[in-house]
Structure 1
Amino acid sequence: MAHLLGAEALHLEYPTKVVFDSVSLGVNEGDRIGIVGRNGDGKSSLLAMLAGRRMPDSGRVTVRGGIRIGVLDQEDMLDDDHTVAQVVVGDTAEHEWAGDARVRDVIAGLLGDIPWEARIGSLSGGQRRRVALAALLAGDWDVLALDEPTNHLDVEAITWLAQHLKRRWSTNSGGLLVVTHDRWFLDEICTATWEVHDRVVEPFDGGYAAYILQRVERDRMAAATEAKRQNLARKELAWLRRGAPARTSKPKFRIDAANALIEDVPPIRDSVSLKALAVSRLGKEVVDLVDASVSYPVEAGDGLSGGDSASDDARADAERKTVLRDVEWRIAPGERTGILGVNGAGKSTLLGLVAGTVQPTDGRVKRGKTVKVASLTQRLDELEQHLGDPVRVVLARLRTTYTLGSGSKAQELTPGQMLERLGFSSAQLSTPVKDLSGGQKRRLQLLLILLDQPNVLILDEPTNDLDTDMLAAMEDLLDSWPGTLIVVSHDRYFIERVTDQQYAILDSRLRHLPGGVDEYLKLRTLQEQRDAGRKNDGGGSGSGLVSTGSTSGGGSAGGADSGSDSASASGAAGLQGAALRDAQKEVASIERRIAKLTERIDTEQTALAEHDQGDYEGLLTKTDAIGSLQLEASALEERWFELTELIG
């Protein structure tokens, strides 16, 4: 394979730290390289040197003549006065960029919900990120260097980006360098992984799963000082083998070697013990949402003025936006649930109902008497009062011990030991909170919440600012936490790793996802196709190329209700008489079949949890059987969608 760029004897240091010492490496045609490592070890600096954005203190970077390198920085440099169109396509004539299939794909994939003529200064941080990414991907590059490209992207946009990068170049052409903490994304697109640590860059073959396997092998041969990282990596590997069949099917993942490495690793979570302890702490009632709906009045500009008060009240009632509709969710003690949905779908509102900060406009929310809810939000409010204090002083005001696990496996840990598990060194205990990095503040915030001993924990985007090692440490801590866990995250790996089931908010309703994230993505695709069909049937003017086909999920899922009356009318007109009755019968039959499949899947998953964890062949057989049932259920759900659209 032809050489694209290389680095020879790179040396980089700051006044108090040597970042790299004599690092040599290269990128060839067809390489798709993920760069991982702890925060502060030099991942972004390495990317900047290879892309020519930063000069090393010594050594050199060589680039083959004519090679074009495109770079996505962590912070965008967009001009607030420019429009989205100017940033993405510049002065290129519309007929030229509209005739480029790649540009059309990028616009549809990332900018479908962003007005084409909007000023950059009027956009949110997430929208600006997508515009910057779209501007880069619309260009023609031989090498792409992406620094945290999945930041501010939801699950759908991340899935789209992975597919785009996989098909952007042919197999043996182009080069990709990506720094990201999104482990699913790494595993999906990368053929090699570089780990940045201790002044060096260590290469591994394959994506994240293969990297974890090789790192465990390396750690097995390492000195005893690597024992802590080894145990976390082995636990991660055990989950990759036991809990994610799609990953284990990759040829490069050596199943026999993995089985040998994890043969003495216990199950990731002792679900039976944790649920028993959760019941003892919570009782049998946690939070029940019964036919709960939430709507908000339309703000200024609704045109409600004049007339008698009765008609004004009627118009006011009509001018409301429904965020959640008829939510039926009975949360069980020890339940570990992930919530999916596009930005604006109502995830935060749902969390507010559970936490008690939002009241339903219809229906009711019932809470158990012993429920104590705590939320890890995207803000750092818990740290505001402690910013000037050293970490040691903050901890001294709290509990002296924390119990982790249950029964014979219970551990009494001091707050300092808890901090150590979350990656803090003893020296950092004297650091004022305001001087901690973003990732360190995030971990300290989680510790303060856990030390308050809640029994229902809500995590809203908990993976922000954390590297892959710290994510593994957080997951390890949550594995032993006995309580009800509810997670909202765009990090697919994290949500699959720490939760046992997933729900989605679609069309303002809460829907169970037996097939997990894959099922959610299929349902969103069907929803978008249905909405696009409604627009076309209604003959609306739309806004051309930019307004359709979005997979970024930036808009509210509640918007899918627009045009539903016309769709229902056309559907009812299309099926009449015997055909309509047959369709209704098939819908009823499908619903009964789905209910039976769901019950069977739950039974099989319970049996899987109780199965001998050392019987790998038996586990794989049961996992495959569950997967087949889930695929059958997904196919039935797709048919149900088709029929209900026809019936109206």
Structure 2
Amino acid sequence: MLVSMTDLTKYNGEKCILDHVELHIENKDKIGILGVNGTGKSTLLKMIAGVENYQGKISYQKDIHINYLPQTPHYDENDSVMETVYKQIDTKDVHDFEIKAQLGKFGILDEKQKIKELSGGQLKRVALAIALIKPCDLLILDEPTNHLDNGMIEYLEKFLIKWSKGLLMVTHDRYFLERVVNRIIEIDHGQIYKYEANYSKYLELKQVRLETQLSSQRKRKLFLKKELEWVRAGVQARTTKSKDRLQRFEELSKVKDVEVNGKVEMIHTFSRLGKKTIELHEISKSFGQKKLFDEFSYMFKQHDRIGILGDNGTGKSTLLNILTGNLKSDTGYVEIGETVRFGYFKQGYDDLPMNKRVIDFIQEISNDFKVDGQGLSAKDMLERFLFDARLQHTPISRLSGGERRRLYLLRVLMMMPNILVLDEPTNDLDIDTLNILEDYLDNFEGIIITVSHDRYFLDRICDGLFILQNQHLRYVNGGYSQNLDTSTKEEKEKSQGALAYKQSKKKKIKMTYMEKKEFEEIEDVIMNLETNLNQIEEQMNGVTDFKEIDELSRQRDDLQKQIDEKNERYIYLLELQEQIDNQ
């Protein structure tokens, strides 16, 4: 066993990240860690890597070597790339040519370049190369695919498939989780759930777990309802009641309900898009002597879903800036229709004012936003995107990476775009939020143009690709897997998951507005009916007049009938909500 964790507990301020959990990592485990943003995935990696304190016990195999890739690596900015590698790696174990070859795999070609001259993405790729070169027993990777182009991701995937030692990683790349891992660990409300599965099998097992938990909870609540009637039967009779039965009632009453994560409620906003959208006429672009792409023409159709592919440095973000009018092409021109309204979701956080409070950032757009005819304040909008009262008054600088991306996305959608331009939209978003974003994009009425390294996302969303390759830009029909060959037939078949989902997706189950309202109020209604029933039964005890008893009996029977009907309706709505949650 490589690592054994027992009674592990971690608090982030008042928030419990891990609550007395247990986890063991074996020699050849390849583990993916899942959970919504803020649940503590990166924190768990840091604890195992020994760079974060905790309560409890972590035991390691004797003489274990751990390589850890953090989300944001830090090195001496005055060192060169090669000096940085030498400080991290014993050169007796690795030759210079191996180091240079690995750096080259991740696009780092000038090993004499200073760390301070590298972009954040280049720095992450240097750190990834170091983590893969350095011999170890356990490889810990935090979002390793961020800042990699598709070719690098495919290389990393093949490297990890062949990896014969322990692997622990946080990633939102669903193809990685499908092909590489053999175990999945889910962090949910301070607890750890373990699945001996890859991604597709995990989805099945998770649904079974939730259905079992919710079914047990529903039965427990129905049982408690009956027991509550028994407990309330009368003070005088209580002295004769079974102490064991009362004790069981008290114990069941203390059992916590199943905690279900809140889900982002995407806002469906759209400005009318006219017939003329974006027209590219013989555009090209170079920077100095470096040509990015030669003359290219294209007319965007009203419901185009275009993905942009290319290695790092080939001009993907440059192309987005030309399309949106933020940058001029060297030749040709771009025509943008009068009704076009861009929503530009950029790659980084440069546009976010870090010292500003979350709610102030959204109020700048609107504090009276209209969605489906309903007026929503900035507070309401933020709650839909899972920013509670505490987070709303927090400076943006204190948000996690995923929370910042979610906030930025909300602001973009509030601009009511009819053309969504997404530059690496999947970075730092958890898989639950990604699934909701993909559902939203399925139903978006305008044009979507996206740069993404997430292969599942490209397969799910895009029906056409712009491919930047060899200083040339071309258009092809279809998504990622339809246009790029994978190494084996088996890998190619595994690549079709998102496409198959897209083609076979059934109409989603939804509650109507009235059903939602009824579901929110029905427990209070049942409680009021039961209170009225108890009052009538108490009243009947002191009545001797036959006619009055007959009237009270009729009222009692009528109330009991209403309670039974409401209970049946409640169970139906509860099961409907389960189906919606499990979609």
Aligned residues: 451
Shift of 1:422: 2.6
Q: Identical aligned pairs, as a percentage?
A: 34
Q: Do the aligned residues in 1 keep the contact of 2:358 with 2:392 (CA within 8 Å)?
A: no
Q: How does 1:10-409 map to 2 (within 5 A)?
A: 10-57=8-55, 59-89=56-86, 97=95, 106-111=102-107, 113-169=108-164, 174-223=165-214, 281-296=272-287, 298=288, 320-380=289-349, 383-384=352-353, 387-388=356-357, 390-391=359-360, 394=363, 397-403=366-372
Q: 1:324 Cα deviation (Å)? A: 2.6
From the superposition, tell whether residues 447 and 21 of structure 1 become closer, same or farther in structure 2 (CA, over 3 Å).
closer
| Structure 2 unaligned spans of 5+ | 219-256, 488-498, 508-583
Match of 2:549 in 1: none
Deviation, structure 1 residue 463:
2.4
Cα separation, partners in 2 of 1:470 and 1:213, compared to 1, 3 Å: same
2:246 is matched with none
Amino acid at match of 2:188: H
Instruction: Provide the rounded CA distance (Å) in 2 between the counterparts of 1:104 and 1:385.
Output: 37
The CA RMSD over aligned residues, in Å, is 3.7
CA distance in 1, matches of 2:120, 2:399: 23
User: d(CA) in 2 for partners of 1:14 and 1:386?
Assistant: 21
Q: CA deviation at 1:382?
A: 5.9
CA contact (8 A) 1:422 1:473 kept: no
The letter of the residue matching 2:204 is L
Question: Counterparts of 1:114 and 1:66 in 2: how far apart (Å)?
Answer: 34
Q: Provide the secondary structure at the position in 2 that maps to 1:79.
A: coil
CA distance in 2, matches of 1:18, 1:385: 26
Distance 2:443 2:505 in 1: 20
Structure 2 SS opposite 1:401: strand
Structure 1 unaligned blocks of 5 or more: 233-273, 299-319, 404-410, 525-605, 615-648
Q: Matched residue of 1:353: which SS? A: helix
Distance 1:417 1:156, change over 3 A: farther
Gap change, CA 1:612 and 1:46, over 3 Å in 2:
closer
Structure 1 residue 6: Cα displacement = 1.0
After TM superposition, the structure 1 stretch with the greater mean CA deviation from structure 2, 9-18 or 378-387, is 378-387
Structure 1 position 175, deviation (Å): 0.7
Higher helix share: 1
Preserved contact between residue 391 and residue 432 of structure 1 (Cα < 8 Å): no
**In the TM superposition, what is the alpha-carbon distance from 1:492 to its structure 2 partner?**
2.3
Task: Give 1:479's aligned residue.
Answer: 442
After superposition, the C-alpha distances for 1:481-520 in whole angstroms (9 at most, x for unaligned) are 2211111122223333333332211123222344633466
CA distance in 2 between partners of 1:50 and 1:383 (Å)? 32
Task: Tell me the secondary structure at the aligned position of residue 190 of structure 1.
Answer: coil
Q: Distance in 2 between matches of 1:470 and 1:351?
A: 24
| Aligned residues of 1:478 and 1:498 also touching (Cα < 8 A) | yes
Query: In structure 2, what is the Cα distance between the partners aligned to 1:325 and 1:55?
Result: 54
Greater length-normalized contact order (CA 8 Å, ≥ 6 residues apart): 1
Conserved in 2, the CA contact under 8 Å of 1:204 and 1:211?
A: yes
Distance of 2:424 and 2:292 partners within structure 1: 20
| TM-score, normalised relative to structure 2 | 0.68
Q: Matched residue of 2:425: which SS?
A: coil
Give the deviation of 1:392 after TM superposition: 9.2
Equivalent residues in 2 for 1:533-572 (5 A)? Answer: none
Check whether the contact 1:27–1:175 (CA below 8 A) recurs between aligned residues: yes
Query: 1:117-144 deviations in whole A, cap 9, x for unaligned?
Result: 3232332222222222212211211111
Distance in 2, Cα, partners of 1:393 & 1:130:
34
Rg larger for = 2
Range with bigger deviation, 83-92 or 328-337: 83-92
Q: Is the 8 A contact 2:185 2:193 kept in 1?
A: yes
Matched AA of 1:364? Y
Distance 2:411 2:61 in 1: 51
Structure 2 Cα separation of the partners of residues 56 and 611 of structure 1: 46
The one-letter amino acid of 1:16's match is E
Q: Deviations over 1:211-239 (max 9, x none)?
A: 2222222233343887976999xxxxxxx
1:87–1:135 CA contact under 8 A, matched in 2: no
Normalised TM-score (structure 1):
0.62
- Partner Cα separation in structure 1 for residue 356 and residue 412 of structure 2: 16
2:387 paired with 1:424: yes
